[in-house]
Homo-oligomer: A and B are copies of this chain.
């Protein structure tokens, strides 16, 4: 990938090179290059171009940052049952009162407690509970609780 920045750097390098060449030419005519000064001359050029190369490379490399993305999985345990399984609930075809009774039943309340909570007689609760058992296809309140939790039809 040759970005606009790279091209700019290459152009800059070209300009620097040109300037140096002209400087050398000028030095060649103006100052006499002595025979024993060639070493120093060559050394200066070597150092200069080495530094230039290093600087160039650093500039170019700076844009080449290797980014490693590590996806850290955070497991969120959604334990609480927020939603009621409406589908299963409708299948049972429970009446409003029966569902009310079921909700209190699953909370561990006795028939007497449910009766006083709903301002009804124990007889009425027993009737509702019996009808519940038939509709839910269970034989005891404990089974009703187990099935309710399993089908997720209560909170």
A66 to chain B, nearest CB (A): 5
Judge whether A61 and B57 touch: CB under 8 Å: yes
Within 8 A of B (CB), among A41-68: 42-43, 45-58, 61-68
* A52 vs B50: C-alpha distance when bound (angstroms): 7
* SS class, residues of chain A in contact with chain B: helix
Given known contacts A50-B49, A143-B108, A74 and B77 CB-to-CB distance under 8 angstroms: no
Judge whether A70 and B73 touch: CB under 8 Å: no
Q: Is A3 an interface residue (CB 8 A)?
A: no
* A72 vs B76: C-alpha distance when bound (angstroms): 11
A41 to chain B, nearest CB (A): 8
Contacts of A140 in B (CB 8 A): 108, 110
Judge whether B38 and A28 touch: CB under 8 Å: yes
Residues of A participating in the B interface, judged by any CB pair closer than 8 Å = 17, 20-21, 24-25, 28, 33, 38-39, 42-43, 45-58, 61-79, 81, 105-110, 138, 140-147, 149, 152
**Interface contacts beyond A49-B53, A77-B78, A108-B140: sample of 4 additional A-B pairs, CB < 8 Å, sorted by A:** A21-B42, A61-B63, A79-B81, A145-B146
